[in-house]
Amino acid sequence: GDLTDALNDMSLKISQSEKMESEFISSVSHELRTPLTAINGWGETLLEDESGDVQQLRRGVQIILKESRRLTNMVEELLDFSKMEDGRFTLQLEEVDLQAEFEDAIFTYRELFRQEGIELRYEPGEALLPPVSGDPERLKQVFCNVLDNAAKHGGAGRRIDASLTAEGT
């Protein structure tokens, strides 16, 4: 009886561990896919752009470089995953211009979405938002994921309206 209970308990723990591993891999894949989508999309946009617009070219290359750096940071975090497992993971907190990070994510995805037939509309609010304490990489990751999910799972709509407002200030 005790041996059977112990085997059943071990089997359950192995099953739970395998499920967690699968969910982790799925989450990591999603996180890596988001900047890759931006890099690929802007690469294709720049290759097909025959306008010769130097400003568009520079902005596209800047986004490609920024998203490449973000991918590099994610890979480094994966390599340091043991820190998270044993509780040594820390956020890199600093004063962050939330609106600038949000607008950067909007600009990154607007052209990509346009190519997919999705209009990304953004109107900046009238009030300037105060800086917040946060990890700029994590915040950009959140904004990019929200936009990416809105495009993928937003139903049949072909428009995304994005805004950023402060509440309770």
Six-digit token string for 51? 């306008």
The answer to whether 109 and 144 have CB atoms below 8 angstroms apart is: yes
pLDDT tens by residue, 6-47: 888 888 888 887 777 777 777 778 888 888 988 999 999 999
For 9, counting Cβ atoms within 10 Å of its Cβ (0-12 exposed, 13-18 middle, 19+ buried), the class is exposed
Q: Is 168 left (phi over 0), alpha (psi -120 to 50) or beta?
A: left
Tokens 């994510």 correspond to what residue?
105
Tokens 């596209």 correspond to what residue?
60
- Average pLDDT value over all residues in the chain: 83
Q: Examine the pLDDT at 169 and tell me if it is beyond 60.
A: no
pLDDT tens by residue, 44-71: 999 998 998 999 899 899 889 888 988 8
Higher-pLDDT residue of 89, 121: 121
Please state, in angstroms and rounded to a whole number, the distance separating the CA atoms of residues 82 and 73.
Answer: 15
Residues with Cβ within 8 Å of 137's Cβ and at least 6 positions away in sequence, in order, are 70, 73, 92
